[in-house]
């Protein structure tokens, strides 16, 4: 039976990426060696790193004056690296969920943190609006997509201070005006590669302005100067990331991908809104294109486990909601085909006809 992979991360990757990575595990670039065992200093792997950086810049139209880094440690390490590198006295954060809260916690070790707004009062089911960003902050941090709760900031906001964004789960899902950001970062295990590599897009002139001593590995300048090769990079995930970047380019780039993502999300959200068994959990204007969260309508709550088993029997995996919110979550990342969403919608309709 065909599996329909709705996992939130690690998550579905393009077949192109999986197949090429599998080949490289057996024989990388005709070397007779596996990508798992070749030196990161070899000309073959240096070429992979160079091409991945180049395609990153091309696909996102990254302007001059920015560096693209591939490092380890996940987005969770970036929560500390960002204030370590660019926070002098004060930063500002928008609290839209679990990952934002973790980033806020780390920043508090480096100075004053102004949480400008929070949606915690309604279990993070909306994006706060109408707040003021303090102009004396060294930077303002947002989490653009919230995998657990299913909200997303889909515009590149105008910001009076340097803007920093965690785009772990929606990078490459829509065009981004990188010039509006000082730093964009994220774990790769949603729309880019297997877990193990973290991408950072950093505006070079934002660095070098703090007085504190920064440990070598936590200093962005270290990785810029050494082109992500100061220490051994996560070679396999970087190689896989390159395959995904090639796949994106071959499939029309980011604008084409955004249109496909809108079609998939509209298909599922329309069914959630139509089907009397289900209800969405997020303010409609803030719904994510990447993580679609919904629950059973109150009067059908007892059917939740039954629907999960019903969908699982039809080949769907990863649709259980995060343990902190329950219900269901369908992650519709770039590599998820529209056909998988159609199978889920059909299952919801069939279940309604049986139980409604």
List pLDDT tens digits, range 248-257. Answer: 999 999 999 9
Tell me the β-bridge partners of 151: 146, 287
190 included as an active-site residue: yes
- Indicate which residue of 138, 170, 190, 246 is catalytic: 190
Segment (H or E) for 349: helix 338-355
Measure the CA–CA gap between 227 and 293, rounded to whole angstroms.
39
Q: What is the per-residue pLDDT across 299-312, written as a single tens digit (0 to 9) for each?
A: 999 999 999 999 99
Q: CATH assignment of 253-355?
A: 3.90.1150.10
User: Which pLDDT score, from 0 to 100, does residue 84 have?
Assistant: 98
What is the share, in percent, of the chain residues with pLDDT greater than 70?
A: 100
Q: Quick one: average pLDDT of 345-354?
A: 98
Measure the CA–CA gap between 290 and 113, rounded to whole angstroms.
29
Question: Does residue 21 register a pLDDT over 80?
Answer: yes
Domain boundaries, the chain: 15-250, 253-355
Contact between 316 and 347 (Cβ < 8 Å): yes
Contact between 278 and 307 (Cβ < 8 Å): no
CA end-to-end span of the chain, whole Å? 27
Six token digits for residue 354: 């049986």
Q: Quick one: average pLDDT of 4-9?
A: 97
Q: What is the per-residue pLDDT across 60-114, written as a single tens digit (0 to 9) for each?
A: 999 999 999 999 999 999 999 999 999 999 999 999 999 999 999 999 999 999 9
What Å distances lie between residue 145 and 53, 190, 239, CA to CA?
Answer: 23, 11, 25
**CA neighbor of 188 nearest in space, from 43, 35, 327, 68:** 68
Measure the CA–CA gap between 14 and 19, rounded to whole angstroms.
9
Q: How confident is the model at residue 268 (pLDDT cuts 50, 70, 90)?
A: very high
DSSP code at position 217: G
Measure the CA–CA gap between 252 and 36, rounded to whole angstroms.
31
Question: Does residue 291 register a pLDDT over 80?
Answer: yes
Q: How confident is the model at residue 325 (pLDDT cuts 50, 70, 90)?
A: confident
User: Which pLDDT score, from 0 to 100, does residue 1 have?
Assistant: 81
Measure the CA–CA gap between 19 and 306, rounded to whole angstroms.
35
Q: Quick one: average pLDDT of 273-285?
A: 97
What Å distances lie between residue 181 and 65, 141, 158, 300, CA to CA?
Answer: 12, 10, 9, 44
Q: Quick one: average pLDDT of 32-55?
A: 98
Question: Does residue 117 register a pLDDT over 90?
Answer: yes
User: Which pLDDT score, from 0 to 100, does residue 324 have?
Assistant: 83
Q: Quick one: average pLDDT of 333-352?
A: 98
Strand order in the sheet with 163-166: 66-71, 198-203, 183-187, 163-166, 140-143, 90-95, 112-118
Q: What is the per-residue pLDDT across 218-245, written as a single tens digit (0 to 9) for each?
A: 999 999 999 999 999 999 999 999 999 9
What is the share, in percent, of the chain residues with pLDDT greater than 90?
A: 97
Mean pLDDT for the chain overall: 97
User: Which pLDDT score, from 0 to 100, does residue 19 have?
Assistant: 98
> In the CATH hierarchy, which top-level class contains the domain 15-250?
alpha beta
Question: Does residue 282 register a pLDDT over 90?
Answer: yes
166 included as an active-site residue: yes
Neighbours of 175 (CB within 10 A): 15
Question: Does residue 356 register a pLDDT over 80?
Answer: no
Position of tokens 């070749």?
38
Answer whether 0.75 is exceeded by the pTM: yes
- Indicate which residue of 138, 166, 170, 286 is catalytic: 166
Q: How confident is the model at residue 131 (pLDDT cuts 50, 70, 90)?
A: very high
């Amino acid at each position: 039976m065909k599996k329909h992979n709705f996992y939130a991360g690690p998550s579905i990757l393009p077949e192109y990426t999986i197949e090429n990575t599998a080949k490289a595990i057996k024989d990388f670039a005709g070397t007779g060696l596996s990508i798992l065992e070749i030196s990161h200093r070899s000309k073959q792997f240096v070429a992979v790193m160079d091409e991945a950086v180049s395609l990153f810049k091309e696909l996102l139209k990254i302007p001059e004056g920015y560096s693209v880094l591939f490092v380890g440690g996940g987005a969770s390490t970036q929560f500390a690296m960002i204030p370590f590198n660019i926070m002098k006295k004060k930063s500002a954060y928008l609290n839209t969920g679990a990952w934002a809260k973790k980033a806020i916690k780390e920043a508090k070790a480096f100075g004053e943190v102004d949480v400008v707004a929070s949606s915690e009062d309604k279990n993070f089911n909306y994006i706060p609006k109408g707040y003021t960003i303090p102009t004396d902050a060294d930077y303002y941090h947002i989490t653009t997509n919230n995998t657990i709760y299913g909200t997303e900031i889909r515009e590149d906001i105008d910001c009076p201070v340097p803007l920093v964004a965690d785009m772990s789960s929606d990078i490459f899902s829509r065009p981004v005006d990188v010039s509006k950001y000082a730093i964009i970062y994220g774990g790769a295990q949603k729309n880019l590669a297997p877990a193990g590599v973290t991408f950072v897009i950093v505006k070079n002139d934002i660095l070098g302005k703090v007085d504190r001593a920064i440990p070598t590995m936590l200093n962005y300048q270290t990785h810029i100067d050494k082109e992500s090769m100061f220490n051994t990079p996560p070679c396999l995930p970087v190689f896989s990331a390159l395959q995904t970047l090639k796949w994106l380019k071959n499939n029309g780039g980011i604008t084409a991908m955004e249109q496909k993502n809108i079609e998939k999300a509209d298909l599922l959200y329309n069914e959630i809104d139509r089907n009397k068994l289900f209800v969405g959990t997020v303010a409609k204007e803030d719904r994510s294109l990447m993580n679609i969260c919904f629950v059973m309508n109150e009067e059908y709550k007892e059917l939740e486990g039954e629907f999960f088993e019903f969908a699982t029997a039809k080949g769907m995996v990863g649709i259980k909601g995060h343990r902190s919110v329950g219900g269901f979550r369908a992650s519709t990342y770039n590599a998820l085909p529209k056909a998988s969403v159609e199978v889920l919608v059909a299952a919801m309709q069939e279940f309604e006809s049986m139980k409604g």
